[in-house]
C-alpha cells in the first residue's frame, strides 16, 4: 500500500476497541465491494489500524464506518482479498465450512471415481478463498498459497481438509508454496499431514499419470485441461497428432487412449519430456515419439504434416503491458500451425493468459488464419472446467480459453 496515502489511525480509535484490525475506504470506493468483487486495491484505502501487518485479517469499513467485508490484508496492489462480505471470524469453522463446500461441489461434478482421481479442490476466488489453490491427486491434496494470509492459515486449511474427507479418501496434505509466495517469511515446502512418495499414480478419465508435486511444475499437473483433453479424444481415432507444449503428455495420452495412429509430443523442457515418456510407458502405449525443442522454432518448418495439432503454450502475457507482444506470439504460432496442418486438419489452440480475453484470442487466431491463407471454421469454443469455477462477481477469474478449428 502506498503509505503516504494512508493516515494511520490512533490505536485508541480502532485497534484497542476492536479485536479485529480494520481498514476504512475512501468515500465512493465501496462500490466494487458492494458488487461482491473480492479485491480491494491499495488506492481505495483511506485509514488503517496502525499495527496492520501482512496476512492480518481485517474488517473493511466504508467511509461512514459501516462494515462491508472481512479479508486478508497485504501491503501490495491488491491490499485486501475478501473472504466474507460481512464481519466474520476467519477461524477453524470458517475454513471447515468453505473447504467442505468446495469438496461438495467436486462431488456433485462426479470427480472422485474409480477411473478418475484428479481434480482441483479449491480455486481461489472461484471458491470464495482468494489466495488459495488446492489440487487433489488420488488421496493427496497439494496446497498452494498465494497470499500471506493463507500462508498463516495453513494449519487451519490442513485440518479443514481432513474433516472434508474420510481417512481413506485423504492420506496426505503437501504444502507447495515456496514458488508462489515471495515473502520475508521463511517458506519451506513439505507435508502438513501424512506422507506419500512421489511420483504418485493418479487417474484422469481412465488414463494413468505419474504426479510429482515436489519437482513438477505448479502442483504437478495441468488439471485445467481435463475436459479439453477428453474432447481431443473424440477427434483422435485414426489420426496423427502433434502435441506441442506437452508438459507431462496429457493431450498425447488421451489421444493414444482414443485410437490415434501416432502422437508426437514436444516440449522445450527435457524434464517435461521425461515425464511424458514415463507416462506413456506407465499406460503401455505405443506409437509415440518425443521431441525436445522450442515450439516457436519447430513450428516454423515442420518435418511432417499432421491431422491434429495441439498448441497449449504457457501464459505469453502475465501483465497488460505485455499484451501486444503476446498477441504477436499467439498469431505467429497459430499461423504456422494452420499453414502446415493437413487439409481437413483439426487444430486445438489455447491461451491461458488472463489478460487476453476470449474475444481478443479469437480475433488473433482469425488473423493467423488470414495470414496462413487457409479457410478455417470454428468447431468448438473451449474454456476452463467446472472445478476451476469463476465467481460471477470476479470476471478476472476467467483465464483459460481455446478453440477447435477445422482447417480446410
Ligand atoms: N499441455 C500441457 C500443459 C502445458 S504447460 C498439459 O496438458 O499438461 C506449458 C508447457 O510449455 C510447459 O511444459 C513448458 O515446459 C512448455 N514450454 C514453455 N515454453 C516453451 C517453448 N518455447 N517451446 C516448447 N515448450 C515450451
Map 197-258 to HEC letters. Answer: CCCEEEEECCEEEEECCCCCCCCCCCHHHHHHHHHHHHHHCCCEEEEECCCCCHHHHHHHHC
Q: Give the confidence band of 183 by pLDDT, cuts at 50, 70, 90.
A: low
Q: Is the pLDDT of residue 10 over 60?
A: no
Question: Any idea of the CA torsion for 3, 4, 7, 8, to the nearest 10 degrees?
Answer: 30
d(CA 102, CA 204): 20
- Is-contact 166 103, C-beta < 8 A? no
Lowest-pLDDT choice from 132-141, 182-191, 227-236: 182-191
d(CA 59, CA 20): 6
Q: What is the mean pLDDT of residues 185-203?
A: 90
Minimum-distance ligand 1 atom for the alpha carbon of 271: 15
Q: Determine which residue's CA is closest to atom 21 belonging to ligand 1.
A: 294
Report angle CA 344, 380, 230 to the nearest 5 degrees: 90
- Find, among 262, 365, 347, the residue nearest to 310 by Cα: 347
- Is-contact 347 311, C-beta < 8 A? yes
Q: What is the mean pLDDT of residues 336-347?
A: 98
Q: Residue 389's pLDDT is what?
A: 98
Whether a cis peptide bond, with omega within 30° of 0, leads into 199 is yes
Q: Give the confidence band of 260 by pLDDT, cuts at 50, 70, 90.
A: very high
Q: Is the pLDDT of residue 273 over 90?
A: yes
d(CA 328, CA 336): 12
Q: What is the mean pLDDT of residues 261-285?
A: 98
- Report the share of the chain in percent with pLDDT over 70: 94
Q: Give the confidence band of 317 by pLDDT, cuts at 50, 70, 90.
A: confident
3-state DSSP assignment of residue 345: strand
Q: Residue 322's pLDDT is what?
A: 84
Q: Is the pLDDT of residue 14 over 60?
A: no
d(CA 244, CA 266): 5
Minimum-distance ligand 1 atom for the alpha carbon of 222: 8
Q: Residue 194's pLDDT is what?
A: 97
- Centroid of ligand 1 to alpha carbon of 312 (angstroms): 7
Instruction: Compute the mean pLDDT over every residue in the chain, rounded to the nearest whole number.
Output: 94
3-state DSSP assignment of residue 124: helix
Q: What are 349-390's pLDDT values in tens digits?
A: 999 999 999 999 999 999 999 999 999 999 999 999 999 999
DSSP 399: -
Q: Determine which residue's CA is closest to atom 15 belonging to ligand 1.
A: 269
Instruction: Tell me, using a 6 A CB cutoff, whether residue 312 lines ligand 1.
Output: yes
Name every residue whose Cβ is closer than 8 Å to that of residue 113 and which is 6 or more positions away in sequence.
none
Q: Give the confidence band of 319 by pLDDT, cuts at 50, 70, 90.
A: confident
The helix (run of H) or strand (run of E) holding residue 262 is strand 262-267
- Find, among 371, 395, 390, 400, the residue nearest to 124 by Cα: 390
Q: Residue 311's pLDDT is what?
A: 98
Q: What are 49-83's pLDDT values in tens digits?
A: 999 999 999 999 999 999 999 999 999 999 999 99
Instruction: Tell me, using a 6 A CB cutoff, whether residue 269 lines ligand 1.
Output: yes
Q: What is the mean pLDDT of residues 146-168?
A: 96
Instruction: Tell me, using a 6 A CB cutoff, whether residue 245 lines ligand 1.
Output: yes
Q: What is the mean pLDDT of residues 225-250?
A: 98
- Centroid of ligand 1 to alpha carbon of 292 (angstroms): 11
d(CA 257, CA 285): 8
* Placement of cell 484497542 in the chain: 16
Out of 267, 292, 388, mutate this one to test ligand 1's pocket (max ligand atoms within 8 Å of CB): namely 267
Between the alpha carbon of residue 38 and those of residues 50, 173, 213, 258, the distances in Å are 23, 27, 29, 41
Instruction: Tell me, using a 6 A CB cutoff, whether residue 247 lines ligand 1.
Output: yes
Instruction: Tell me, using a 6 A CB cutoff, whether residue 296 lines ligand 1.
Output: yes
- Centroid of ligand 1 to alpha carbon of 27 (angstroms): 46
Instruction: Tell me, using a 6 A CB cutoff, whether residue 290 lines ligand 1.
Output: no
- Is-contact 372 345, C-beta < 8 A? no
From 119, 196, 246, 352, the catalytic residue: 352
Global pTM exceeds 0.85: yes
3-state DSSP assignment of residue 194: strand
Instruction: Tell me, using a 6 A CB cutoff, whether residue 333 lines ligand 1.
Output: no
Q: Is 352 a catalytic residue?
A: yes
C-alpha cell at 331: 498469431
Q: For CA atoms 44, 49, 50, 55, give the dihedral sign.
A: negative
Instruction: Tell me, using a 6 A CB cutoff, whether residue 204 lines ligand 1.
Output: no
Lowest-pLDDT choice from 12-16, 205-209, 315-319: 12-16
Q: Give the confidence band of 13 by pLDDT, cuts at 50, 70, 90.
A: very low
- Report the share of the chain in percent with pLDDT over 90: 90
Q: What is the mean pLDDT of residues 268-276?
A: 97
Name every residue whose Cβ is closer than 8 Å to that of residue 142 and which is 6 or more positions away in sequence.
134, 135, 136, 173, 174, 176, 213, 219, 220
Residue 171 C-beta-side C-alpha neighbours within 13 Å: 8
- Centroid of ligand 1 to alpha carbon of 224 (angstroms): 14
d(CA 108, CA 95): 20
- Centroid of ligand 1 to alpha carbon of 284 (angstroms): 23
Q: Residue 186's pLDDT is what?
A: 62
Q: Residue 16's pLDDT is what?
A: 41
Amino acid at each position: 500500500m502506498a503509505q503516504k496515502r494512508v493516515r494511520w489511525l490512533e490505536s485508541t480509535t480502532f485497534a484497542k476497541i476492536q479485536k479485529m484490525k480494520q481498514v476504512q475506504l475512501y468515500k465512493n470506493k465501496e462500490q466494487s465491494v458492494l458488487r461482491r468483487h473480492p479485491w480491494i486495491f491499495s488506492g481505495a484505502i483511506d485509514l488503517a489500524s496502525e499495527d496492520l501487518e501482512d496476512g492480518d485479517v481485517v474488517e473493511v469499513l466504508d467511509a461512514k464506518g459501516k462494515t462491508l467485508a472481512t479479508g486478508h490484508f497485504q501491503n501490495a496492489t491488491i491490499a485486501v482479498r475478501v473472504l466474507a462480505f460481512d464481519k466474520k471470524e476467519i477461524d477453524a469453522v470458517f475454513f471447515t465450512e468453505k473447504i467442505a463446500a468446495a469438496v461438495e461441489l467436486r462431488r456433485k461434478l462426479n470427480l472422485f471415481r474409480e477411473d478418475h482421481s484428479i481434480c482441483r479442490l479449491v480455486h481461489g476466488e472461484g471458491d470464495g478463498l482468494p489466495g488459495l489453490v488446492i489440487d487433489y491427486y488420488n488421496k493427496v491434496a497439494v496446497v498452494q498459497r498465494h497470499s500471506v494470509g493463507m500462508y498463516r492459515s495453513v494449519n487451519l486449511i490442513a485440518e479443514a481438509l481432513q474433516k472434508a474427507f474420510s481417512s481413506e479418501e485423504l492420506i496426505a496434505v503437501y504444502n507447495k508454496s515456496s514458488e508462489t509466495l515471495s515473502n520475508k517469511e521463511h517458506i519451506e515446502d513439505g507435508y502438513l499431514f501424512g506422507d506419500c512418495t512421489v511420483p504418485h499414480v493418479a487417474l484422469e478419465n481412465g488414463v494413468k499419470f505419474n504426479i510429482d508435486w515436489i519437482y513438477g511444475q505448479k502442483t504437478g499437473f495441468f488439471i485445467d485441461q481435463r475436459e479439453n483433453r477428453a474432447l481431443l479424444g473424440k477427434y483422435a481415432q485414426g489420426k496423427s497428432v502433434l502435441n506441442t507444449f506437452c508438459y507431462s503428455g496429457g493431450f498425447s495420452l488421451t489421444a493414444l487412449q482414443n485410437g490415434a495412429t501416432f502422437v508426437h509430443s514436444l516440449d522445450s523442457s527435457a524434464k517435461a519430456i521425461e515425464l511424458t515418456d514415463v507416462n506413456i510407458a506407465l499406460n503401455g502405449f505405443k506409437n509415440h515419439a518425443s521431441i525436445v525443442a522450442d515450439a516457436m522454432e519447430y513450428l516454423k518448418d515442420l518435418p511432417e504434416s499432421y491431422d491434429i495439432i495441439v498448441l497449449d503454450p504457457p501464459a505469453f502475457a502475465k501483465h497488460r503491458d505485455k499484451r501486444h507482444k503476446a498477441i504477436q506470439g499467439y498469431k505467429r504460432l497459430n499461423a504456422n500451425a494452420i499453414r502446415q496442418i493437413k487439409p481437413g486438419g483439426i487444430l486445438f489452440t489455447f491461451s491461458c493468459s488472463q489478460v487476453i480475453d476470449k474475444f481478443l484470442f479469437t480475433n488473433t487466431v482469425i488473423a493467423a488464419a488470414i495470414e496462413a491463407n487457409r479457410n478455417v471454421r470454428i468447431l468448438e469454443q473451449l474454456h476452463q472446467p467446472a472445478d476451476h469455477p469463476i465467481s460471477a462477481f470476479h470476471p478476472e477469474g476467467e483465464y483459460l480459453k481455446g478453440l477447435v478449428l477445422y482447417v480446410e
